[in-house]
């Protein structure tokens, strides 16, 4: 970056976004600095982008196009590439008209079409066809994911959400003890959902999923294209909102993510805030950060994915959350049915066991699938303590 230019406006200029005088100033700055690209930190209309390019005679990109280009370089799987391509095409489609305006004036005789109009319609038709193809393919991917999710419904599912580069992948990598989880200190290093089974103690395991990171003013095309990926978060029993505690604007990042979750219809999901990268918070700021978080978001967790033992508090919280999600039951099984007794010990957390004449009475926490199997076998199952619903962190 060779320079920046800002302007305070009540509202963007409809033709050039910036005021007329500011556009001329921008043109002079470009010539002075030898800039070859102008990036606007906002989304431009097709007309604004074209008008500015004509005035400054330099390539112009807006925030949405830049983010889409970054996503395109980060996409590794076929699903991510399709999602990014879909977002790029939907971004490009309304901008085709301006690209061909200079040719549309070339008209033939009565009933004839100019070459610009013909090319515009051809391009629009090709793009619309490609968009349909991509949506169909992504729908197939989503159907396959839904089948996978159905097979995991009996397990406790947790999704990591948060601002890009907050350390979600590092949390997953450390908790799962899986060195193959891709981690890199850059924006949007993860575009595909990645799920790992994580042991949280007392014989319990949870399915932990990493999701795509959010960013301020995320292009709506991108949000729409990644809805299938974010369905993993919608199906989760618990969301972990990971925040980079060492970032000076972490409060803004929190608000951005909360806003996107609301837009995606996920604001009602059970959620806990996780303040990550506490090891990177300067010592003189540590107490202030903790006090501010305690005031804004009580019961938040303070963790570090890099320090040894830095995620043990999170592991404990996942275990307790899983326990709260399961009812405590009294199961009465004939002593002669060793198979069912073994299943209860295998599939649940046995809290107490005693003998009542010819019955084995077991007090245990069990999931819905195990309860269903026991009842189907004709076993007496009584709820002694109902599952406790989660409380959203304010």
The owner of tokens 């030898």 is 34
Helix axes 227-234, 78-92, angle to 10 degrees: 120
248 falls in which pLDDT band (50, 70, 90)?
A: very high
Tokens linked to 151: 């097979």
- Residue 344 pLDDT > 50, yes or no? yes
Are 343 and 241 members of one domain? no
pTM: 0.76
Domain boundary (279, 306, 323) is at 323
**Could you tell me if residue 58 is inside a domain?**
no
Of residues 235 and 59, more confidently modeled: 59
Whether the pLDDT of residue 208 is over 90: the answer is yes
Counting the structural domains of the chain, the total is: 2
Q: Looking at the structure, do residues 218 and 360 belong to the same domain, yes or no?
A: no
In this predicted structure, what is the pLDDT of residue 120? 73
CA 317 to each of CA 171, 305, 357, 370, 393: distance values in angstroms, whole numbers, following the listed order = 14, 15, 39, 23, 14
Question: What pLDDT, in 10s, does the model give residues 128-137?
Answer: 899 999 989 9
Mean predicted lDDT score pLDDT of the chain: 84
pLDDT band, very low/low/confident/very high, at 143 (cuts 50, 70, 90): confident
- Report pLDDT digits (tens) over 308-343: 999 999 999 999 999 888 889 999 999 999 999 999
Is 50 within the bounds of a domain? no
**CATH number of the domain that residue 341 is part of:** 3.30.70
Q: Is pLDDT of 216 > 50?
A: yes
Contact criterion met (CB below 8 Å) for 344 and 393: no
Which residue ranges are tagged as binding site?
A: 162-169, 188-192, 210-213, 276-279, 304-306
Q: Stretch 43-70: mean pLDDT, rounded? A: 88
Boundary-marking domain end, from 272, 294, 323: 323
Residue 72 lies in a domain: no
Q: Are residues 302 and 159 located together in one domain of the fold?
A: yes
Phi first, then psi: give them for residue 38, nearest 5 degrees. Answer: -115, 125
Q: Is residue 95 part of a domain?
A: no
| Pair 306, 202 in one domain | yes
Residue 333 confidence (pLDDT): 94
- Cβ atoms 297, 177 nearer than 8 A: no
* Residue 116 maps to a domain: no
Residue 393 scores a pLDDT above 50: no
β-partners of residue 334 are: 359
Q: In this predicted model, which residue has the larger pLDDT, 230 or 104?
A: 230
- Whether residue 315 is contained in a domain is answered as yes
Same domain, 190 and 235: yes
Q: Which whole number is the average pLDDT over 218-237?
A: 70
Sorted by sequence, the CB contacts under 8 Å of residue 294 that are 6+ apart come out as 300
| Cβ atoms of residues 301 and 321 within 8 Å | no
- pLDDT-based confidence at residue 243 (cuts at 50, 70, 90): very high
Q: Check residues 223 and 79 and name the one with the higher pLDDT.
A: 79
User: What tokens appear for 99 in the block?
Assistant: 């690209």
* pLDDT over 80 at 103, yes or no: no
Q: What residues are designated binding site for Mg(2+)?
A: 169, 190
Does residue 275 surpass a pLDDT of 90?
yes
Domain ends where: 308, 323, 338?
Answer: 323
pLDDT in the model for residue 149: 66
The number of CA neighbours under 13 Å toward the Cβ of 35 is 22
Any domain includes 164: yes
pLDDT recorded at residue 217: 75
Can you give the pLDDT at residue 211?
A: 83
Q: How confident is the model at residue 46 (pLDDT cuts 50, 70, 90)?
A: confident
Q: Which domain holds residue 358?
A: 326-385
Structure confidence at residue 29 (pLDDT): 92
- Range scoring the smallest mean pLDDT among 183-187, 275-279, 290-294, 339-343: 183-187
Domain co-membership, 330 together with 317: no
Q: Show Cβ contacts of residue 337 under 8 Å, excluding neighbours closer than 6 positions.
A: none
Name the binding residues for GTP.
162-169, 188-192, 210-213, 276-279, 304-306
Closest CA to 391 of 255, 243, 273: 273
The CATH number of the domain where 205 resides is what? Answer: 3.40.50.300
Assess whether 268 and 345 both reside in one domain.
no
| Residue 252 CB neighbours (<10 A) | 12
The answer to whether residues 295 and 238 belong to one domain is yes
């Amino acid at each position: 970056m060779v320079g920046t230019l800002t302007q305070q406006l009540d509202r963007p200029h409809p033709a050039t976004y910036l005021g007329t005088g500011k556009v001329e100033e921008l043109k002079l700055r470009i010539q002075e600095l030898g800039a070859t690209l102008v990036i606007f930190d906002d989304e431009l209309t097709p007309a604004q982008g074209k008008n500015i390019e004509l005035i400054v005679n330099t390539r112009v990109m807006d925030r949405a196009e830049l983010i889409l280009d970054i996503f395109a370089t980060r996409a590794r799987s076929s699903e991510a590439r399709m999602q990014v391509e879909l977002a790029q095409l939907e971004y490009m489609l309304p901008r085709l008209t301006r690209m061909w305006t200079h040719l549309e004036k070339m008209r033939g005789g009565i009933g004839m079409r100019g070459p610009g109009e013909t090319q515009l319609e051809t391009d629009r038709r090709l793009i619309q066809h490609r968009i349909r193809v991509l949506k169909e393919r992504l729908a197939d991917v989503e159907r396959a994911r839904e089948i996978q999710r159905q097979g995991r419904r009996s397990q406790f599912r947790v999704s990591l959400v948060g601002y890009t580069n907050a350390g979600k992948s590092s949390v997953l990598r450390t908790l799962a003890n899986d060195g193959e989880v891709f981690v890199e200190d850059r924006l949007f290093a993860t575009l595909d959902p990645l799920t790992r089974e994580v042991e949280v103690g007392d014989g319990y395991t949870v399915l932990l999923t990493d999701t795509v990171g959010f960013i301020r003013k995320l292009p709506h095309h991108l949000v729409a294209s990644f809805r299938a990926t974010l369905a993993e978060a919608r199906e989760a029993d618990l969301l972990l909102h990971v925040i980079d505690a060492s970032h000076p604007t972490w409060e803004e990042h929190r608000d951005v993510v909360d806003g996107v979750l609301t837009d995606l219809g996920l604001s009602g999901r059970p959620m806990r805030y996780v303040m990550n990268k506490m090891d990177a918070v300067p010592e003189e700021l540590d107490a202030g950060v903790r006090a501010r978080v305690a005031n804004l978001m009580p019961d938040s967790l303070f963790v570090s994915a890099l320090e040894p033992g830095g995620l043990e508090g999170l592991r404990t919280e996942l275990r307790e959350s899983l326990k709260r999600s399961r009812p405590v039951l009294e199961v009465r099984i004939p002593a002669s049915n060793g198979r069912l007794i073994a299943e209860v010990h295998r599939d649940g957390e046995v809290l107490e066991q005693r003998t009542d004449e010819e019955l084995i009475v077991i007090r245990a926490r069990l999931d819905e699938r195990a309860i269903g199997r026991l009842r189907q076998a004709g076993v007496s199952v009584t709820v002694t303590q109902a599952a406790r619903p989660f409380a959203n962190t304010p």
